[in-house]
Amino acid sequence: MNKLLKFTLVVAALSLVLLLVPWNLDVRNRDTFANRFQCFLYDKNKVIVKGMTDSVEIRLLGYDKRTIFSNGKKIGRIPREYGDICFKLYYRNQPFGEACIFNKNWWQTHDFIFDLTQGIQNFTFSAQGPDAESAGYFRIQYDSTAEIRTGYNFSGEIIYRDTIYPD
């Protein structure tokens, strides 16, 4: 091997090591270059669903309605952005709840915890991370006589929805 090729391989190996070192550091939710770099490269947010996970899907609300959780595992990326991150929960393609958190910085990450151990009608939502206090959710129950109300200020409040207009 010539010297240029050896030098290139050594530089590539060192660059790889320097990129992998931040992965192993616990720099979550700190305003550091390593944390911002990690957040830029991959989704450090976690989705934890306790209890029944079969036939449950969690989708993002808003302009990007992609599915982030299905078949018992996280399958989509949660956006890195400032502002509301809102989720809609589905059981067998029927919505049963919504949850939201207000993210104050794009590089802050959270563990989003959906507890379905008591079933879909009694689920709870919480978050662990810097903006956990802004987490809110509501459960949806179908009643053809009730009007639609929305709001994230009430943790666990039941929102009645007309089955004629499920979305």
Q: What is the pLDDT of residue 131?
A: 86
Structurally, the chain folds into a number of domains equal to 2
Residues 70 and 80 in one domain: yes
Q: What is the pLDDT of residue 57?
A: 92
Q: What is the pLDDT of residue 26?
A: 62
Q: What is the pLDDT of residue 65?
A: 82
List the Cα angle 47/28/65 in 5-degree steps: 35
Residues 47 and 124 in one domain: yes
* pTM exceeds 0.75, yes or no: no
- Residue 95: is it exposed, middle or buried by C-beta count within 10 angstroms (0-12/13-18/19+)? middle
What per-residue string of b and e applies to 141-167 under the rule 16 or more CB within 10 Å gives b?
eeeeeeeeeeebeeeeeebebeeeeee
Q: What is the pLDDT of residue 149?
A: 45
Q: What is the pLDDT of residue 144?
A: 54
Please list the ranges in the chain whose pLDDT falls under 50. 146-153, 162-167
Say if 166 falls within a structural domain. Answer: no
Residues 75 and 138 in one domain: yes
Question: Which structural domain, as residue segments, surrounds residue 124?
Answer: 43-161
Q: What is the pLDDT of residue 19?
A: 65
Q: What is the pLDDT of residue 58?
A: 93
Say if 58 falls within a structural domain. Answer: yes
Q: How many CB atoms lie within 10 A of CB 33?
A: 10
Q: What is the pLDDT of residue 124?
A: 86
